[in-house]
Structures are given as structure tokens and as C-alpha cells.
Amino acid sequence: MAKKKKTELINPKENESVATVQPITETLVKNYMPYAMSVIVSRAIPEIDGFKPSHRKLLYTMYTMGLLTGHRMKSASIVGQTMFLHPHGDASIYETMVRLTRDNETLLHPFIDSKGSFGKQYSRDMAYAAARYTEAKLDPFCNELFDGINKDAVDFVPNYDNTREEPVLLPTSFPNILVSPNLGIAVGMACSICSFNLAEICDGTIALLKNPKTTVDRLLDIIKAPDFPGGAKIIYDRAQMQKIYETGVGSFKMRAKYEYIKKTNSIDILEIPNSSCIEEIMKKATDMIKTGKLREVTDVRDAIDLGGFKLTFDLKRDADPELVMQKLFSATALENSFDCNFNILVEGTPMQLGVREILLEWIKFRTKCLTRQLKFELGKKEDKLELLLGLAAILLDIDKAIRIIRNTELEEEVVPNLAAGFNLTTRQAEYIAEIKLRNLNRQYIINRVQEIESIKQEIEEIRETLRDDLKLKAMIISQLQAVKKKYGKPRKTEIIGKEDIVKPEEDIFFENYNCRLVLTRGGYFKKLSTQGMRSADEQKLKEGDFVIYTEDTDNRGDVLFFTDKGQIYRARVCDFDISKPSQMGDYIPAKLSMDDDEHVVGCKMIYELIKEHHMVYIFENGKGLRVSLGAYEAKSRRRKISGAYSADSPLVGAIYEGKDPKPIFIRSDAGRAMLIKSSLIPEKATRTASGVQIMQLPKKVVKVDLVTDRIEDVGTDATKCKKNAIPSTGTSVAQLSFNF
């Protein structure tokens, strides 16, 4: 029985309730891939007309509601009507609508003429009002979106419940895909399309229509750079911009526009980068003021009013406005980057294209729309010509037509009898039969028939245009020129060269002043102020501890800390607080989060790593070497340098050697010492080399226990240990007097 039950559990055919296992690959193909494609094609990525489905459905709904020419309507009503095409909830529809309005200031050319509070693109806290309070209609600019939509310019498909139809695309008469910005995150891909100036895009498209071989370099001269509704400035790098135009991928930097108001001693930020928001800038600036990195500013406030955007920084009396702006550009979103990723859908296929390729694809799309529109108009005119030719046929004998109608006994025979009597088609006879009795006179018929020649001429012109690609292109060019003339605006975003940008120095964020640095053998570090240096107080040290390094400097440089584990730690002088002589100072192993059982051996303050200068390392085993500071150069400023020198033997001393050799005092725990010049120690190209023997140690238990270049602290007897060659056993210190 147990065996039978086991069979039932593992055999789905015998027990249908047992679930089958689906391989992960099959799950991805059958379940995940359709979802991913739905997000890509039907939600997040714009089509060649420049719209995502949500945008298109909303605008088309407003168009069918007559809001292109009528009065404004409550937004709630518009949202409700849009749900017939877009059943994803009123909140998402209204958010889409907000972005397209004039008041939100997201678009260079808004599609919706709005009334009410619709928030602002540059603020996350200025929320839009509820849909029941706001009103909207289509902006006249939308005439360019729907040009030809009622003339079969694009395909229509049923909506989600098959109760009405909606367009697959909008037949935009200009490359809206590059005029309206678009951001979207799909599955496995995203898009980030910046906006360009409408007039420049029209000119660039015209150039490609006239010469499809127009290069990206030439397009850069026409379409100079992206253009944003918020203005600001683009830091222009032509090579960088050319890469974006060619590949559709890349980034460029933007910075805010500002002016200094001398009367009020304040800085007004008038325009900010498109990807920045005012609250983020204010928070960062406030934090900088609190931490002392922006001491020149007393207050930062939102000064937005009816005049538009304004962010004000009130300055202290002697503050330098240029220095303040350098700090703000370096640390806040007043300078920001825009990342481009031109992913669009072309006939339902995601493609990453550059500006030139996008314009060429739009030209193909617009050519198809215009061809379909012309064929539609041709069919209408041919139908009308057919009817007028039938009307002209009865002009010769109106009485005969009346007799045929009067003498026909059955209504359904009127059309066949007229067609037979005048040799007409069924459509022509039907048209004549529907003419009112009062219009069956010579004057009416002659007036209508006079249109025949003009219609024939129009038909021939349309046919000629359809046969000639150059004429089709000429029509598109003419439309683009009209759009540019009617809606073109000057650039809002200013272009500045990267060479015009003054790069701030690293020390602009802290106050500079003179100070004294002190390091003890026990690893305690102090930064003393000028007042502290003049104080008569003695340095507080732990019992048995003593000073191994001291230097008068300022607050701008870096301090290199050398440890007994072959590592160098780098910190800024400004990272340390001012200490008093009566304080112990910072314990460096804890302050810099050093490894367990790692101790500081020495330190040195530097401004930069100069190749001609050296570090001299003396190890516990009596060996030493000189290493150029250039060996520690790196692309980035590293806080910790591992493998900075040999770790075969613990480091006892690290001496900085500038242009001139330094005297170095070395002592062993066996009671011997030597004083040498650093130039006696050979330089090694490899910084982790074990070095050469400097002090000969008689036994393995003997080791070097003191290295210093502070000869004045050693005592006057130090000169009695002077050696002119290495290696050396040193001089016995039994009869000598030292301070250590």
C-alpha cells in the first residue's frame, strides 16, 4: 500500500491535483517575456511620434471632445473620458495631464492650455490641485499633432473593450520626438530623451530632407545643443555632444543662471538645471551652512513669485559672490548632469538611435503619413469628380431626367432608369436622384459643373506628387517651415564653453589659517591654533610618550600617516578639530579606522606629491630605502594606500626628504646609535623593496627602536655618532647623553 501511495503522489496522470514543475526558462518565455514586452511597447518607451500611449490617449480624447477649439473643461471630466481608452486609474491619467500643461513648465511647447494650480517641474513639494479644481483645453499648437488624422494618415485600432477606436500614432507635422522630453523605465531598458529647440529641429530636418547624407558634424552646427524650458546653461563639449548625436548615449553638464544684487548683498538664482529641484538645493545649502562649509551665507530662501523662479542666498558683508557660487556649483544641484539614452520604438521595435537616425526615421514616418493623406484626398476628389460628371451629363436634357423620374412607377427603379437613360454609373444616378427638386435647374447644375476642371487639375497634382519623392519632400519642408515660422522660439538654454568654467580649488569649503601639527610616538595627533602655539602651556602627553613630529603649516594640506603594517593613510588637515596643548589630541588608529594592532610610526604634511621629493623608510631589522613620492600618484585621491613600502620588517621611522638631504638619527635597543645623511641611502624604483642594510645588528634579538630627524631633540651628543658610510655598527651610547 505504501508503494502504491508513493506512485500516486509522483504520477500526475493518476492524481491530477499534484502541480507540475515548470522550468525557469519556460517561465521566462511564457510568463515574463510577454509582460516585459508589454511594458516596453505599451507603457514606458515613446514611439516615433514622440508620445507614450498614455500621452496619446489623453490628447486624442481631448481632441474628440472638441477641446482644440472650444472652451476649457474641468480636468476631472477630461480624465473620466480618457478612461475609455486608458483604464489605468484616474490618478495616473491626471499625472500625465499635469506634465503636458503650460503651468507645469515641463515642455518647451506645452500641449495643454491650463487654468489652476498644476505644480512646477522644478519642485517636488509644489503639488498640483485636484482634478475637480483645475480646467484645461488643447493648446493651438496641437493642430500640428492631428494634421491629417481624419484623412487616414495613421492606423486606428479598437480600444480595450472594443467600443471605440483610437489612433496607433499621431501624424505630427514636426519631429516631436526630439522637441518634447521623455523619461521612462521599462524592463531591461530605459529612455531619457532631452528636448531640443523647435526651430533648430525643423532646420535640421529640412537639411536632411534636402541632403540625406548630411553629417552629424553638420547637424551640430544647425541643432546646436539641447534646449530646456527651465533655461539654465549647458557646459558645451563638442566631442561629447557629437557622441550623443551619433549614438544617442552620453551626458552633458548644466549649471544654473544667477545674478548678484549689490543693493541687497544677495545672489538670486534665476534658472536651474532641468534635472534639479529647488528643495534639494535648499536642503544641501542649509546643511553646508550648518557644517561651516558655507560660512559666507546667512540665509537661503525660496523667493518664487509671479515673476517666476527665484532662489535667494543672503550673504555676509565681506563675502565674495564668486567664491560662494563656486562652492554651490561644486556641492549642490545648481550644477548637474543630464544623462541621455535615446531609446525609442520604431514600428513596435525598440531602438537606440542618435539624433540623425531619429530624424531620418521621422522623415520615413511623416512621408508615410503624408502619402496616406494624399491618397485619401485623391479618392475623395475622384469620387466627387465622378458625381459631377454625372451631373454634367443631365445638363443637356434636364427635362428628360425629370420625365424618367416622373414616369417610373416604383421607387427602387428610379436609379436604374436614370443610369440607363444617361449611361451613368449607379453612384452617379443615386447622386442625381437625391438632388432636391428646387435644385433641378440649369443655374445650379452649371455652378456645380464648373468645379470639374479645377478638381481634375487638383487630382493630377496629387497624382504627380505621389509619383515624385522630391515633391513629397518639398511638402514636408513647406510644413516644417510653416511650423517654425508660427511656433519657433529663441533658445532658452544658454550654451557656454567648458573652457569658460573656472575650476574651484579643493580648499574652498573650509577656512584657511595657520596651525601647528604635532604627532607623538604613541599615535596621538594635535592641530594647534596660532593662539595655542603662543600659549605657555606644556604639551600634555601620556607617561613615557614623546613628540616625534611637529610642523608649522596651514589648514589646506594633507597629512600622510605611516604605519608599521606597510600602509599609508591620507587625511586632510581640515578634517581635524583644533586642539589645545592641554589636550591629548586625536588617537590616529581610531580616528582613521586602522587595522587591528596597527600603529602610527610617523607622518608628514604635504600639498602635493612631488616626484623629486622622497620618503626615507627605516625598518626594525636595520634596513632602509628611499622612495620617490611620485610612486604614490593615482588617478583618484585614495584615503588608504596599501603596499606603500615593505612589510617584511616593522617600520620604525618615515623621514620626509625634500630637495636637500636630511640628517637621520638611528638607535638600536642594544645601546648603539648613528647619525647619517639621507643621501647615503639608495633610492629604489620598487616601493615595496626590502632596502639595504644601514645599521648592522649583531644578534637577531637586537632591533632598531628609534628613528628621528629632530636632531635638536636628541641632544648635543648626537653629532658624536655621525657616520659617512653604510652599513655601520654605530657608536656606543653608554658614555653619551641623550634626551630619549
What are the tens digits of pLDDT across the range 639-664? 888 888 888 888 888 888 888 888 88
Q: What's the whole-number average pLDDT of the chain?
A: 88
448 and 384: one domain? yes
Residues 32-48 as b or e (16 or more Cβ within 10 Å = b)? eeeeeeebbbeebbbbb
Euclidean distance between CA atoms 237 and 243, whole angstroms:
10
CATH of the domain at 455: 1.10.268.10
Q: What pLDDT, on a 0 to 100 scale, did the predictor assign at position 219? A: 95
What are the angstrom distances between the C-alpha of 484 and each of 143, 148, 478, 493? Answer: 14, 19, 10, 18
Is the per-residue pLDDT at 554 higher than 50?
yes
Domain assignment of residue 242, yes or no: no
Q: What pLDDT, on a 0 to 100 scale, did the predictor assign at position 19? A: 57
417 and 524: one domain? no
Give mean pLDDT, residues 347-359: 94
Is the per-residue pLDDT at 17 higher than 70?
no
Residue 234 and residue 252 in contact, taking contact as beta carbons nearer than 8 Å: yes
Give mean pLDDT, residues 241-250: 95
Confidence of residue 708 (pLDDT cuts 50, 70, 90): confident
Residue 307 CB neighbour total at 10 angstroms: 8
Instruction: Write 374-381 long-range contacts (CB < 8 A, 24+).
Output: 374/462, 374/465, 374/466, 375/152, 375/466, 376/151, 376/152, 376/153, 377/151, 377/462, 378/459, 378/462, 378/463, 378/466, 381/455, 381/458, 381/459, 381/462
Dihedral (CA of 16, 17, 18, 23) sign: positive
Confidence of residue 8 (pLDDT cuts 50, 70, 90): very low
Is the per-residue pLDDT at 534 higher than 70?
no
Is the per-residue pLDDT at 150 higher than 60?
yes
479 and 536: one domain? no
**Residues 6+ away with beta carbon under 8 Å from 685:** none
What are the angstrom distances between the C-alpha of 286 and each of 35, 124, 293, 295, 710? Answer: 44, 17, 10, 11, 45
Is the per-residue pLDDT at 113 higher than 90?
yes
Classify residue 88 as left (phi > 0), alpha (psi -120 to 50) or beta. Answer: alpha
289 and 403: one domain? no
| Tally of domains in the chain | 4
What are the tens digits of pLDDT across the range 668-687? 888 888 888 888 888 888 88
**Entry pTM:** 0.74
Confidence of residue 505 (pLDDT cuts 50, 70, 90): low
Domain assignment of residue 137, yes or no: yes
Give mean pLDDT, residues 513-540: 80
476 and 537: one domain? no
What are the tens digits of pLDDT across the range 411-438? 888 889 988 888 889 998 998 888 887 7
Give mean pLDDT, residues 611-621: 88
Euclidean distance between CA atoms 354 and 109, whole angstroms:
22
Euclidean distance between CA atoms 329 and 115, whole angstroms:
35
Domain assignment of residue 289, yes or no: yes
What are the angstrom distances between the C-alpha of 437 and each of 398, 406, 419, 420, 427? Answer: 11, 12, 18, 21, 19
424 and 465: one domain? yes
Q: Name the least confident of 6-20, 189-203, 219-233, 420-434.
A: 6-20
pLDDT over 70 percentage in the chain: 95
Cell numbers standing for residue 70: 472650444
Domain assignment of residue 108, yes or no: yes
456 and 556: one domain? no
Q: What pLDDT, on a 0 to 100 scale, did the predictor assign at position 202? A: 97
Euclidean distance between CA atoms 191 and 194, whole angstroms:
10
What are the tens digits of pLDDT across the range 443-470? 888 888 888 999 999 999 999 999 999 9
Q: Which residue has the higher pLDDT, 216 or 436?
A: 216
Residue 54 and residue 91 in contact, taking contact as beta carbons nearer than 8 Å: no
Euclidean distance between CA atoms 503 and 327, whole angstroms:
10
612 and 521: one domain? yes
Is the per-residue pLDDT at 215 higher than 60?
yes
Is the per-residue pLDDT at 3 higher than 50?
no
Euclidean distance between CA atoms 129 and 74, whole angstroms:
12
Active site residues: 133
Residue 327 and residue 293 in contact, taking contact as beta carbons nearer than 8 Å: yes
**Boundary residue ending a domain (172, 196, 212):** 172
87 cis-preceded (ω within 30 degrees of 0): no
**Boundary residue ending a domain (125, 144, 172):** 172
Residue 600 and residue 549 in contact, taking contact as beta carbons nearer than 8 Å: no
**Which has the closest alpha carbon to 205: 372, 364, 348, 46?**
364
Give mean pLDDT, residues 209-234: 95
528 and 471: one domain? no
Residue 681 and residue 597 in contact, taking contact as beta carbons nearer than 8 Å: no
571 and 429: one domain? no
Cell numbers standing for residue 648: 617584511
Q: Which residue has the higher pLDDT, 204 or 650?
A: 204
User: 298 lies in which domain range?
Assistant: 257-333
Going edge to edge, which strands form the sheet with 704-708?
Answer: 704-708, 663-668, 672-677, 731-732
